[in-house]
Structure 1
Amino acid sequence: MTHAAPPTLPSIDFINTQATLQDFSEAVTLLFEPAPPIVKHLYAKRPYPTYSALIDETSDFLATPDKNLTLEEQLDVINAHPRIGAAKANLSALSLIEQGYTPADAAKKVDETATPSTDDAVTQATLKRLNEEYEAKYGFKFVVFVNGRPRSVIIPVMEERIANSTKEQEMKTAMTDMVLIARDRLKKLNVA
């Protein structure tokens, strides 16, 4: 079995002084998934003293999305994140680990079979159904900071948010959780 090298971020100095837009996008995508509106904003605001400062800028930017982004751009940012329980082929290396795949499974080639470490078929089917319900109600993907919790523990969170939230609150929660996810990823990548 071939193990892929763990993802890494280039130095903040490279990001600030030498990175092309493509280089910059690849680095930001490790933290936020492929969200062009975020990349465009962050690229224009360089330099950053640290990646933490880059995430702080993103947090400030997403705190007032109606001021900074069109509705379509807001949806692009939210929908950049994979669905909870998505197929392995559709997940980034960091999303695989966050969604409960073992590091060994996450390192396997896309065409190899990988089994979530703590989930079963019932959990998968429930998550699929809840994703569909959530997206039908709100019009975008469910985003949550999993924070090491098994996917089965996310089910009541999804159910609660489907039953008792609003589209506006869910958009705000999604963007807040995206920043929490990015901070956690940065910590896992051992970069300041």
Structure 2
Amino acid sequence: MASAPKLPPIGDVAPLTSEERAGILDLLFEPSTQLHTLSIPLLHEKTFSSYNDLIAAVGAQLTDLSESASTSDTAWLLDILGSHPRLGAKEVESTQSQAEQAQLQGIGEDAEQLKVLNDEYENKFPGLRYVVFVNGRSRPEILEDMKRRIADSDMKTEQTVATRAMCEIAADRASKLM
């Protein structure tokens, strides 16, 4: 049986190979070629005092993309945010997402409701996935949040909320992977 993934000490990140730094990003966020391209150099060039500082720096990069007027920056951000699995998805690539979403796996009517809400969300916000830091919240709480965001939000706000949620998820993962 393979051992659970672990993060190296934060002081050891900068001299790692690009592939090893990509692996850290994959553990904290989700596997994303665009995130690798954006953030691997940052992890090499800058020394961080904690994983929370590293996550904040990546979050700042994502925020810069979100605030840019460039359509290519927006597309880049959407690709990164879209790397997060669909809420309640049966097939999830990362072990961390599998564990985080385990309580949201529904059957029958529950699974259908989640699929319908995911479809509504993705139709209203093309290129985005609904991203939320579950953190022990119940399925009904998450579904209500999803409905509220579909009804009340706009694309720019959702980009900001999804970026913040990805960073909250990454911080939680970092605390568990040390």
What TM-score do the two structures reach when normalised by structure 2? 0.85
Alpha-carbon distance in 1 for matches of 2:155, 2:133: 18
| Residue 11 (structure 1) aligns with | 9
Deviations 1:108-155 (A, max 9, x none): xxxxxxx94xx4432211111110111111112111111122333211
Alpha-carbon distance in 2 for matches of 1:80, 1:173: 15
Q: How does 1:9-158 map to 2 (within 5 A)?
A: 9-17=7-15, 19-45=16-42, 46=45, 47-65=47-65, 66-67=67-68, 70-87=73-90, 89-100=91-102, 116=105, 119-139=106-126, 140-158=128-146
Amino acid at match of 2:51: Y
Amino acid at match of 1:72: A
Moved more, 179-188 or 63-72: 63-72
Alpha-carbon distance in 2 for matches of 1:130, 1:120: 15
Amino acid at match of 2:84: H
Amino acid at match of 1:85: G
Amino acid at match of 2:53: A
Q: Tell me the matched-pair count.
A: 171
Amino acid at match of 1:70: D
Matched position secondary structure for 1:90: coil
Matched position secondary structure for 2:13: helix
Alpha-carbon distance in 1 for matches of 2:147, 2:2: 35
Amino acid at match of 1:122: E
RMSD (Å) for aligned C-alpha atoms:
2.1
The structural deviation recorded for 1:44 is 1.8
The structural deviation recorded for 1:100 is 2.2
Where in structure 2 are there 5+ consecutive unaligned residues? none
Deviations 1:33-77 (A, max 9, x none): 023333333322233233222112112222332349711101111
Alpha-carbon distance in 2 for matches of 1:24, 1:120: 37
Alignment identity in percent? Answer: 33
Matched position secondary structure for 1:74: helix
Q: Which of 135, 139, 160 is equivalent to 2:148?
A: 160
Alpha-carbon distance in 2 for matches of 1:62, 1:184: 18
Matched position secondary structure for 1:64: helix
